[in-house]
Amino acid sequence: MTSEKDRQETQKQRRNARLAEQLRTNLQRRKGQARARRTGEADKRQGIDPAAGSDPSPSEKG
């Protein structure tokens, strides 16, 4: 049987591994966004409508 301390260590290790993976994924996504901005390419993220902006165009501000 594993002791309570061993179980907590295992949970910590799993949590740290999960957080490290999320951090790597986030960093890769941000680097891709920065590269896209530098090269002028469209943002390839899913779920974002590039035509839908929150700011009205200058002609609509009137």
Within 13 A of 44's CA, how many CA atoms are on the CB side?
A: 11
Residue 22 pLDDT > 70, yes or no? yes
3-state DSSP call for residue 52?
coil
Could you read off the pLDDT of 27-59 as tens digits, one per residue? 999 999 998 888 876 666 666 565 555 555 555
Could you give the CA distance from residue 20 to residue 4 in angstroms, rounded to a whole number? 24
Could you give the CA distance from residue 41 to residue 22 in angstroms, rounded to a whole number? 25
Q: Which residue has the higher pLDDT, 45 or 6?
A: 6
pLDDT of amino acid 61: 52
- The whole-model pTM stands at 0.51
Could you give the CA distance from residue 26 to residue 32 in angstroms, rounded to a whole number? 10
